[in-house]
Amino acid sequence: MTDTPTAGTPIADTPIDSRLTVRVFEVWKKLAQDGLPRRSQIDPKEFEPDWSNCFMIDLDPELSKSRFSYVGNSLSDLAPASTERQFLSECPEGTLRTLLAPHIQRVVEKKEPSHSAGSAQHGEAFILYRTVLLPLSEIGDQVDGLLAAFIYREVSVQNELPIAEIIPEIGRPKLSVVR
C-alpha cells in the first residue's frame, strides 16, 4: 500500500490522509514568500510525485468563464477527458467543478489557501476526498489563478463503517429509568 497513487488511478485501497495536500502546500508556501506565486513559478518537477493529482485554473472575473489550464492524470475520471482549457461552466455535475466551486470564491476573496475534505457521489460510487486550493497571481495581490491538489478514494459498501463505530452514542439504545 502506498500513500501516493500512481498516475491515472484513484487511491481505492489506501486511507485518505493529508500528506499529499500538505506536500503541495509546502512547495506553494516556499514560492509564496514574496507574495502570491505566479503561474510561471509552478514547476511540475517540484511537485513530484504529486503532480498527477494537481490541477490549475485560470480565473476569470466571471467565475463560470474560468478555465482549467492543467488537469493531472490521476484526476481523469473526476474530470472530462477534454478538461484542459474547458470553462468551469462546461463541466458536468459530479466532476471537480461541482465539489470545488464553493471553495474557489473563498480563495479569491480571502487571497489565501483553502483546504477541504469530505464525501461526495461520483457516478455510482461514493468517494472520500481531500483538496487544497492555492491562490496564484500574475499581477501582485489579485488572485487570477489557482493551483490545487486533489486526492480521493472510493468507499465501497464493505468499507463503510456502521454509524455506531463512528459516533458510539448514536448506536447505543437509550435507557430510561422508571422509578
C-alpha cell read off for 56: 490549475
- The domain limits of the chain are 19-171
Q: How confident is the model at residue 37 (pLDDT cuts 50, 70, 90)?
A: very high
Q: Which CATH superfamily is domain 19-171 in?
A: PAS domain (3.30.450.20)
User: Strand 145-155 relative to strand 54-58: parallel, antiparallel, unpaired?
Assistant: antiparallel
| Per-residue pLDDT tens digits for 4-30 | 333 333 433 445 557 899 999 999 999
| Per-residue pLDDT tens digits for 86-97 | 777 777 666 666
The pTM of this model reads 0.74
CB 42 within 8 A of CB 149: no
Beta strands in the chain (DSSP E): 54-58, 67-71, 114-122, 125-136, 145-155
User: What is each CA distance from 62 to 23, 40, 140, 153, in whole angstroms?
Assistant: 30, 23, 19, 32
Q: What is the SS3 assignment for 87?
A: strand
Of 24-33, 41-50, 95-104, 164-173, the least confident: 164-173
Write down the pLDDT at residue 82.
Answer: 54
